[in-house]
Amino acid sequence: MLDDLKYIHQKDAQDALGVVEKQYQQLEAVFGVDTSSIGEISNVVLAGMGGSALAAGIIKSWPKLIAPFEIVRDYAVPEYVNRQTLFVASSYSGNTEETLAAIEAAEEKKAQIIVVCAGGKLAEIAKSKQYPLFLLPQNYQPRMAVLLNFKALFELFSGLDLIDASKVSELNSAIQHIKNSALSWRADTPTKENIAKQIALDLVGKSPVIYSGPLLAPVGYKWKININENAKNVAWCNQYPEFNHNEFLGWSSHPVDKPYAVVNLRSSFDNAQIQKRFDISKKLLGGRMPDPLEVEVQGSSEIEQMLHALVLGDFVSVYLAILNGLNPTPVELIEKLKTELA
């Protein structure tokens, strides 16, 4: 089925595979926003949901900020927000109700505000109040614009000297790496040579559970939300070492023939104790947890490995949607929910 290009094109009517393959181009975007109005910064708070918050999660994992940084997935903002807080309102649509409420709360606390969006009410607010606005290109699904959002945040934080300057060249080097990697995951690469198709075949009919170390935790979450939204398939994620303090025991009862598929995202940059935890947990849970799919992430730097794993997961989720007989792009139920809430 996954080598039938005609069938793939029928199901993937909006060409999600094409969008996934070309994600490296999102990292080449340049926004050129003037942030000279921003003064002294003591902490950073970003409000966002879904893919808009995920881009910030990647930033927290790599390259990290030199200032305290909190991501808010809520209607409210932390009590400590004040005039020295850099507050970033991030919503691809610009209409996310939680983020709109959070920016109002940040305004009340006199925070320094930046907006990242592709339009909507947030763009109107930014223009009317002259907040620096990182305006993203439109016509993407939010989960497919995560790297655009990431690049906007990277440019913002780099310009404010909140990121080590050496990270710029690391990111530029990683772009070519994921461009090359994606070639082997395309639809015209046969299953026997295509790890993305192979993983999707292992996941079909099951509920995937994605595990990683801290570095790849936001990527594991990206696998989860893309399997949810693209494949319309329930999935979960967690990370080591937290896994060993609770969820580890959850696998220890009942037969091994559980309706789950476990994926371990492994990075050579994981702490040595994290790597041991993967191996020891697999041994101790043998016969109780489904044998994990071990994904050894490729790349010579942390960001190369993060992007490699992220784009691989995007391909997997689209192929899983096709195996489920579904178009990966529409998210009609979410749109109905938003209508009901409104």
Name every residue whose Cβ is closer than 8 Å to that of residue 236 and which is 6 or more positions away in sequence.
Answer: 207, 208, 209, 210, 224
> Is position 177 annotated as part of the catalytic site?
no
Q: Do 198 and 191 form a contact (C-beta atoms < 8 A)?
A: yes
Residue 46 main-chain phi, psi, to 5 deg: -120, 130
Tokens coding 32: 């050129």
- DSSP type of residue 58: H
- DSSP type of residue 134: E
CA end-to-end distance (rounded Å), the chain:
40
> Is position 338 annotated as part of the catalytic site?
yes
Catalytic residue among 21, 155, 229, 302: 229
Residue 216 main-chain phi, psi, to 5 deg: -95, 10
Q: Do 59 and 180 form a contact (C-beta atoms < 8 A)?
A: no
Name every residue whose Cβ is closer than 8 Å to that of residue 197 and which is 6 or more positions away in sequence.
Answer: 2, 3, 185, 189, 191, 319
Distance CA 163, CA 129 (A): 27
Placement of tokens 């080097």 in the chain? 173
Distance CA 100, CA 75 (A): 8
For 342, other C-beta atoms within 10 Å of its C-beta total 7
Assign 278 to helix, strand or coil: helix
Catalytic residue among 22, 64, 110, 338: 338
Catalytic residue among 245, 283, 332, 340: 245
Q: Please report, for residues 53, 229, 324, 330, the alpha-carbon distance to residue 233 in angstroms, rounded to integers and kept in the order given.
A: 21, 7, 9, 14
According to DSSP, the residues that pair with 135 across neighbouring strands are: 117
Assign 252 to helix, strand or coil: coil
Residue 69 main-chain phi, psi, to 5 deg: -140, 120
Distance CA 113, CA 61 (A): 23
> Is position 232 annotated as part of the catalytic site?
no
The residues carrying an active-site annotation are: 229, 245, 338
